[in-house]
């Protein structure tokens, strides 16, 4: 793999991972409202591992080429974000931000956090298109490694960088806001609103053209 291309990819990947969005919103919520934010961050990263696997085996390109399929995936992802954001908004007033305040079965709570994180990144078709559009730009046909191997390594590099960034986001939110309940509740509410707004935007991207030409 070309070292210069790899370093350039790292710069771009870090910049993208550091861009606030749905993943940040979920990481902040996990940092404030979970006994441990690790399952949530692991879930987010697992979604990108799924995108990487699809890209390596070539299924991502197939999915992108099927007419209308990405549109339906986008609708599913948008509805999921709307649901997750609504749940976050509804729970912000009564949320407890102490690590000792988690209730219920810890294993079930962690599994739910993991699955919600995986759904947040895994169902998002923009993540799939990101891998399709960005990763090939940093693959060298002259490198000794096969193209699928290079693609997989780049995808996993992004996963590792995203894990580092999201862990820092969750950790900082816990350290800075856990002792400030009012500020923490406001941030949690804002995170839920961000999820709802982005979900509505994704949904409108698909429905408005259909209604306009229907």
Asked if the structure places residue 18 within a domain, the reply is no
Asked whether residue 26 is assigned to any structural domain, the reply reads no
* pLDDT confidence of residue 83: 83
Q: Is 143 exposed, middle or buried (0-12, 13-18, 19+ CB in 10 A)?
A: middle
The pLDDT assigned to 156 comes to 94
pTM of the model: 0.74
Residue 143 included in any domain: yes
CA-CA distance, 56 to 155, in Å (whole number)? Answer: 9
What does the pLDDT read at residue 63? 62
Rounded Cα distance, 147 and 52, in Å: 13
Tell me the C-alpha to C-alpha distance, in Å, between residue 93 and each of 184, 190, 202: 10, 12, 27
Q: pLDDT tens for residues 105-152?
A: 556 678 888 998 998 888 776 677 777 777 877 887 777 888 888 889
In angstroms, the CA 115 to CA 144 distance is 37
Q: Is residue 21 part of a domain?
A: no
Residues making up the chain, counted from first to last: 214
Whether the CB-CB separation of 27 and 170 falls below 8 Å is answered with: yes
The pLDDT mean for the chain works out to 79
| Enclosing domain of residue 182 | 37-90+116-213
What is the pLDDT at residue 147?
Answer: 81
- Indicate whether 104 belongs to any domain: no
**Helix, strand, or coil (residue 37):** coil
Q: What is the pLDDT of residues 23-67, one digit of tens each?
A: 888 898 888 875 789 999 999 999 999 999 888 888 666 766 776
Domain count for the chain, please give it: 1
pLDDT of 97 strictly over 70: no
High-pLDDT (> 70) share of the chain, %: 80
Inside any domain, residue 55: yes
Identify the pLDDT of residue 164: 96
Is 110 part of any domain?
no
CA dist., res. 98 & res. 49, Å (int): 31
Q: What's the pLDDT score for residue 102?
A: 45
> Is 196 within 8 Å of 87 (Cβ atoms)?
no
What is the C-alpha to C-alpha distance for residues 23 and 121, in angstroms, rounded to an integer?
7
Would residue 199 count as lying in a domain? yes
pLDDT of residue 107: 61
The per-residue pLDDT for range 149-204, each reduced to its tens digit, is: 888 999 999 999 999 999 999 998 888 876 777 776 777 788 788 878 877 887 88
What pLDDT does residue 34 have? 58
């Amino acid at each position: 793999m070309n070292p210069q291309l790899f370093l350039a990819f790292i710069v771009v990947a870090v910049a993208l991972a550091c861009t606030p969005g749905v993943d940040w919103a979920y990481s902040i919520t996990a940092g404030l409202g979970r006994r441990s934010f690790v399952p949530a961050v692991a879930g987010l990263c697992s979604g990108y591992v799924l995108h990487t696997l699809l890209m390596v085996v070539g299924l991502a390109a197939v999915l992108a080429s099927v007419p209308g399929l990405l549109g339906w995936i986008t609708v599913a992802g948008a509805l999921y974000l709307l649901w997750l954001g609504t749940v976050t908004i509804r729970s912000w007033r009564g949320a407890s931000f102490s690590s000792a305040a988690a209730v219920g079965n810890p294993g079930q709570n962690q599994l739910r956090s993991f699955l919600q994180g995986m759904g947040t990144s895994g169902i998002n078709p923009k993540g799939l298109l990101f891998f399709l559009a960005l990763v090939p730009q940093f693959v060298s046909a002259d490198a000794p490694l096969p193209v699928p191997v290079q693609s997989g390594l780049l995808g996993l590099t992004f996963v590792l960088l995203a894990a580092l960034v999201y862990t820092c986001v969750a950790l900082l939110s816990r350290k800075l806001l856990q002792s400030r309940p009012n500020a923490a509740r406001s941030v949690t509410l804002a995170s839920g609103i961000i999820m709802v707004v982005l979900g509505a935007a994704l949904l409108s991207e698909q429905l408005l053209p259909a209604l306009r030409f229907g």
